[in-house]
Chain A
């Protein structure tokens, strides 16, 4: 799929540094051991988004997927690395170009309660940005809002209402409408359906797929729900503690996972077809991002860890046409790699 590249993150990291505050510095002067804590929420990630595709980003809590999403959206700046856009390096864009890039990338948030301003009516939530940015003239704004609402499946008669008068699924539609109103090209969905009931999730997922068809949108779909990602994405990337551990076409990653973490994840996901089975869970807790294990972050929990895993961080290497994984075991076993567990 050699279509145009919409956005490319190169070696992007995002660090959160907590410097000692006045009290801690004072304690340090008096001899207490004080250090600043650095969290590598995103650790040297490469991510390429092509025009028109849906990229799924999967991981558990603390893996940094939400942070990566916000860096791609421009809400958080990257600490190191660059994000290339068709107009140039994201960090160095100014003025009109920066503004256009900002409008082109929109985010759909997780919590339908707090992602909408509770004191604003829906028509203002959807209509404020296009009006403020000059996309629509004041006299046309009402029709525009009606149009957007219809497109996301809401009754335009309700545009005078406040968010709390809608259900969770409807609020999420309002959020989608708000993003669509500024005519974006790229939507980043950060766990956008996690907070909804199963039957409503299906509705919103279908809406995403319909919009993709109608408007030619590109998606970065961030989720912890493997089933959803399998359904909607063309490519899948698995993240663990700030690093990408496996990436490739969805069908391949789900059927022939190569990284032990991906294998464990797929094995442990509850499925309707698995009945009353023995759960074989991988041991150990997810480490705290403040204190990640050395070498390969996954080595304390990996059933097949070797000595090298403790000391050296594995890099992503190609194991198929577009399939990559970061695991020492893969280059140890090189050509005659036994495939990972097969999944239906």
Chain B
């Protein structure tokens, strides 16, 4: 046991006087600065992630009128054809039908189409 203890004690180094303390402190300072910067970067990234998640969940900035996005498709689905390709003389339709059509388009918010329809009717009448 004593021999083993002696051998163990022989491995002891004790105080290491040769260490350059200034260099050690400078390394420590650099490490502390890096740690602070890393923490700041982490915090910024985390905040940005939270903001992105919040915006995704609340759908901030998404247009609330989907018909403005799918305008063309919806027009086609609604009328099944466009007004310019109606085969037949528009004068064949009676006036009340055309009035109803104009009101319908106005109520649905298709101002430009209403204007086109009225314009077309006026041209037909002039002819």
User: Do A and B share a complex?
Assistant: no
- Name B's A-contacting residues (CB within 8 A): none
- Name A's B-contacting residues (CB within 8 A): none
